[in-house]
Amino acid sequence: MTMGLRPLDLANWLEVDHNRSTELELKQRLFTEKFETVVATNAEGDEASAELLACIEESLKEFHPEISYTIDKAEHPIVSASRLVQEDLCVLVKSDDWRLQAASVCFPSRWDLSTKIGTTLDAIHSPVPDYDAELGSPTNAFFDRLKPDRSFWRLNWTLLDNPTLHQPLSVRRSPSGDLDDWYFRVERQTLRQLPKTNANVFTIRNYVASAKTLRELDPEFGPNLLAALDSAPESMQRYKGWLGVADKLRSELS
């Protein structure tokens, strides 16, 4: 297990594509219908959230000037910021430890924001197998070393049986059916430190594609996916809901 971090050019901090309108409309519905599920804030995160909103506005103005928008100053800045981008947003502030103090997570991959707000990095990642032993110390040390002039990005992926972006409480289960029913979900995550408050911002951008389509586009997708599944420890397969998936895929590829 590694963090798998790569240097980030802030020109590429926020990604804009043809799904922007659809995903922002979905966010708007979630803010209306499930606000308490997708937004959580503590007072300790208010100042950093306002700075994050300003940074997003600055980034859009410089790198995506074609985008127009208005800001409702009556709502929390983490919500205003989230309305502008396809990414989910998490603000971590250092006190006794790095704690999640504000977040807008409209597109979770089977985790519950309400149980994470105010908690530490270790607590947030406690369900991940072997996190404490292998990644806990490096992750906390990295957050301590992060500076405004050095930002990073990484990728995370999983297989699901549902393409829906908003999946907060679904039971982790193995994808049912065959490859036609599976979806490959990738999270593009970025980490940067805000220059004034020194809060750390974690963004999550989700991409979902049919595993069948990816296999048809790239003949190496299936074998590479099988190799990744075969090499994952059983504890990670159980956590991800991958138990038995490698055997299903092997029969598909044979």
If you search the block for the tokens 């940074």, which residue do you land on? 55
The pLDDT of residue 1 is above 60: no
Q: What is the pLDDT of residues 31-48, one digit of tens each?
A: 999 999 999 999 999 999
Q: pLDDT band at residue 28, thresholds of 50, 70 and 90?
A: very high
Q: What is the average pLDDT score of the chain?
A: 89
pLDDT (average), residues 44-73: 97
The pLDDT of residue 195 is above 90: yes
pLDDT of amino acid 174: 64
pLDDT of amino acid 253: 73
Q: What is the pLDDT of residues 102-116, one digit of tens each?
A: 999 999 988 889 999
What string of DSSP letters covers 199-251? -EEEEEEEEEEEHHHHHHH-TTHHHHHHHHHHHS-HHHHHHHT-TTHHHHHHH
Share of the chain above pLDDT 90, in %: 63
Q: What are phi and psi of 245, to 5 degrees?
A: -70, -40
pLDDT of amino acid 2: 60
What pTM was estimated for this model as a whole?
0.90
